Amino acid sequence: MNEIRERLTKLINNKYAQICLVVGLLFGSSYMQGGTVQILSFALVSILFTQSIYILTGMTGQISLGHAAFFGVGAYGTAILTKTLGLSLLVSIPLAGVLASLVAFILSYPAGRVKEVYLAMMTLGFGQIFLEVAREWTSLTGGVMGLSGVPSASLGTLVILGAKLTTVDYFRGLLLITVCAVFFVRNFSQSRIGRSLFIVHNSELAAGSVGIERGRTKQLAYALSGLFAGFAGAFYAHLVGYLGPDSFTVTRSIEVLVIAIVGGLWSIGGQIISAIFFTLLPEQLQVFTQYQFIVYGLILTFTLILLRQGIGGLLFASPRFIRPHLRAQAKRQTISSEFLRSNANPTQISVKNITMKFGGLVAVDNVSIDIPAHRITALVGPNGSGKSTLVNLISGVFPPTAGQVFLNDVEVTGRSDVAMAKLGIIRTFQDPRLVPHFTVRENILLGAHAKMTYGWFEAGVGLPRASQQERLALQQCDSIIELLEIADVADQAVESLPYGYRRMTEIGRALMAGPKAILLDEPAAGLSDVEMSRLAEVLKNLKSFGITILLIEHHMDFLTDLVDEVVVLDSGSILFRGSMLEMRKDAGVITAYLGVEGVEHA
């Protein structure tokens, strides 16, 4: 089965096959019946619309039950601009798209702050509002009676730059635009920004830990999604020539959601097939229209449960999020891991009199430590001693109740986790937080997000600067994979790999971010002996590069021969500071772990 999938995937990705299909349609359309051309045009509109769901729901995981609103803004937008203002389509369609994008951007402010059911309700409500506005603002939208006389090829009223367009001309134009759009989205999904959408959805903390701005990322997702939905709506308007509010009800929102889910939320190819299928189906099966609701409902109810990856998952290999040709180019030239060497000054982390209170509980009590550069420091202590809280404070997850944090004499107290990450303080988590369906390589690549600078447009179009930065990042990624000795699984999805590999992947991601200091939360947990010694080697390497290393660990054997210094915390205060050897003999430490009697007999 996998073989068939691989072959199908190769086929649809084959440049020649793609060109043949498009050229074939371009020429063939002259010989098709008018009705067929119309249906295919509808299918193209549907494909465009579905792409907007791919971006917002598939990539960013934000559920929208009101996407018909953006579709509608695009539709009414271009209709009004052409009809009332007499603008040319060449201007009105882009403007309509931008308008829809703006509306989506505005929605992202309240919507980006809520999740799941609240988000679903909010988008549902938003869709309703749009519907009401369309129905009531009669002077603008024609109200319930709708807007007729929208320039349309089928009515013979479509004129661009003096030339009258036929339905076939319209179809051809729409085909080319849709093809460009699909490639844009595909490229976008394989860029640093596309990848960041996934991690923001999967784990906001992980995203922040490598410097990804969560809020802004979500806003971009909404804006782009709105743009595509708006374009789809605009093309729809000029296809039908008449707009009524009934075309923009929640039914349409649900329809596009069904198409996306059946196609496979993560599969562009699957969604294209699904869009075509659902456009053609009502035409072919009269019966379908009668039972349409029921069928849609059943599909919605069971598809996510039974066929999680939809048609895409069935027919094609898992989508990948790195541009294949960039990967091939990057492979030709390897670079050493020397780039990890800290370019700027080695960084010392200092906390002074730092206290953290959660309500009445004092988690960290007036702690002052210096964590020096060129050293590996371990943070140990019994349960609840404050180790994780301290790391959270240093990495900026929350600000301290009192006290200060310094990096080399520069005060950074209270800065956010994203800010700290950009300053080079990178951390890992007790439980590796990765994008489960991404490969090891794709996950590690996330670490480079903040180091690259190309934007979403450059990504989608594939401009040279974007390709250059990706290539470099891929080369660095390769060298890190070599360093961690996980090359044999680098292109497998992390969810299918044993724990040790996931842990290594997260460490790889941290390294990719070009850290000045690395904070590792129980990195040895769950590792086999071999993996542990490899990790120890890696850490010693990093130390020689000048990176400051702080570890939270319980695994004493792992720490022996590795750490330069160990700090023991108990109930939020420092109990001991010194070498591993001295720690084992220290009375205070033994008492903390074993209780008073432990000391008497030790």
Partner 1 sequence: MDFFISLVIAGACVGSVYALVAVGLNLTFWTTKTLHFGQGAVMMLSAMSTALLVRHGFSEIVSILLALALVGLMGVVVERIAIRPALKTTGSMGWVIATLGFGIVIQGITARFFGSQAVAFPEVLFKVQDAVVIGGQNVSMQYLAVFCISVLLIVVLETLTRRTVLGTAIQGIAQDIELAVVQGLPVNLIVSGSFFLSSVLAGIAGILVAQIGGTVDPAFGFELVLSGFVAAVLGGMGSSAGALLGGIILGITSKLVGGYISTAAEHGIAFALLVLMLALRPQGFFGRAEVNKA
Partner 2 sequence: MLEISNLSVSFGAIQAVKGFSGVATNGHITGILGANGAGKSSLLRAISGLSPTTGGSIKLDGRDITKLSASERAKIGIAHAMEGRRLFRHLTVAENLRLAWSFGARKTTLADAFEDVFNRFPILREKSKIHAGLLSGGQQQMMILSCATMRAPRVLLLDEPSLGLSPLITTQIYRFIGEFSRSAEVCVVLTEQIAAIALKVATDVHVLRQGTTVYTGDAKKMVGEGRSGELSSLYLG
By the criterion CB under 8 A, which residues form the site for partner 1? 57, 61, 63, 65, 110, 112-118, 120-122, 124-126, 128-129, 132-133, 135-137, 204, 218, 250, 254, 257, 261, 290-302, 304-305, 308
Q: Select 148 or 571, whichever has its Cβ closest to partner 2.
A: 571
- Asked if 596 interacts with partner 2 (CB under 8 A), we say yes
Q: Select 100 or 563, whichever has its Cβ closest to partner 2.
A: 563
For 527, counting Cβ atoms within 10 Å of its Cβ (0-12 exposed, 13-18 middle, 19+ buried), the class is buried
Q: Select 418 or 566, whichever has its Cβ closest to partner 2.
A: 566
Pattern of binders to partner 2 over 520-539, x per CB under 8 A? Answer: --x--xx-------------
Binding-site partner at residue 6 among partner 1, partner 2, none, CB < 5 to 8 Å by type: none
Binding-site partner at residue 149 among partner 1, partner 2, none, CB < 5 to 8 Å by type: none
- Asked if 554 interacts with partner 2 (CB under 8 A), we say yes
Binding-site partner at residue 63 among partner 1, partner 2, none, CB < 5 to 8 Å by type: partner 1
> At closest approach, how far in Å is the CB of 121 from partner 1?
5
Helix (H, G, I), strand (E, B) or coil at 517: strand
- Asked if 362 interacts with partner 2 (CB under 8 A), we say no
Q: Select 127 or 173, whichever has its Cβ closest to partner 1.
A: 127
For 24, counting Cβ atoms within 10 Å of its Cβ (0-12 exposed, 13-18 middle, 19+ buried), the class is exposed
Q: Select 15 or 601, whichever has its Cβ closest to partner 2.
A: 601
8-state DSSP, 439: B
Binding-site partner at residue 595 among partner 1, partner 2, none, CB < 5 to 8 Å by type: partner 2
Give 82's contacts (C-beta < 8 A, 6+ positions apart). 88, 89, 92, 150, 151, 238
Rounded CA gap, 432 and 506, in Å?
6
The continuous run of DSSP H or E covering 165 comes out as none
Q: Select 213 or 458, whichever has its Cβ closest to partner 1.
A: 213
* Residues between 488 and 527 with contacts to partner 2, criterion CB under 8 A: 498-500, 522, 525-526
> At closest approach, how far in Å is the CB of 504 from partner 2?
12
- Asked if 578 interacts with partner 2 (CB under 8 A), we say no
Q: Phi-psi bin for 204: left (phi > 0), alpha (psi -120 to 50), beta?
A: alpha
* Residue 593: closest CA among 568, 573, 574: 568
- Count Cβ atoms below 10 Å from residue 221 Cβ, excluding itself: 27
> Which residues are 568's β-sheet partners?
380, 576
Q: Select 226 or 462, whichever has its Cβ closest to partner 1.
A: 226
8-state DSSP, 57: I
Cβ pair 293, 342 in contact under 8 A: no
> At closest approach, how far in Å is the CB of 554 from partner 2?
5
* Residue 380: closest CA among 525, 555, 537, 595: 555
Q: Which amino acid is at 487?
A: A
- Asked if 561 interacts with partner 2 (CB under 8 A), we say no
Q: How many CA atoms lie within 13 A of 175 on its CB side?
A: 21
* Residue 418: closest CA among 388, 442, 389, 395: 395
Give 507's contacts (C-beta < 8 A, 6+ positions apart). 428, 484, 520, 523, 535, 538
* Residues between 425 and 454 with contacts to partner 2, criterion CB under 8 A: none
Binding-site partner at residue 24 among partner 1, partner 2, none, CB < 5 to 8 Å by type: none
Binding-site partner at residue 382 among partner 2, partner 1, none, CB < 5 to 8 Å by type: partner 2
Q: Select 6 or 136, whichever has its Cβ closest to partner 1.
A: 136
For partner 2, the binding residue among 303, 555, 565, 573 (CB under 8 A) is 555
> Which residues are 518's β-sheet partners?
426, 549
Rounded CA gap, 77 and 66, in Å?
17
Q: Report the residue count for the chain.
A: 602
Give 287's contacts (C-beta < 8 A, 6+ positions apart). none
Q: Select 296 or 454, whichever has its Cβ closest to partner 1.
A: 296
- Asked if 458 interacts with partner 2 (CB under 8 A), we say no
For partner 2, the binding residue among 215, 372, 384, 455 (CB under 8 A) is 384
Binding-site partner at residue 161 among partner 2, partner 1, none, CB < 5 to 8 Å by type: none
Q: Which residues contribute to the site for partner 2 (CB under 8 A)?
A: 382-384, 498-500, 522, 525-526, 554-557, 559-560, 571, 580, 583-584, 589-590, 593-598, 600-602
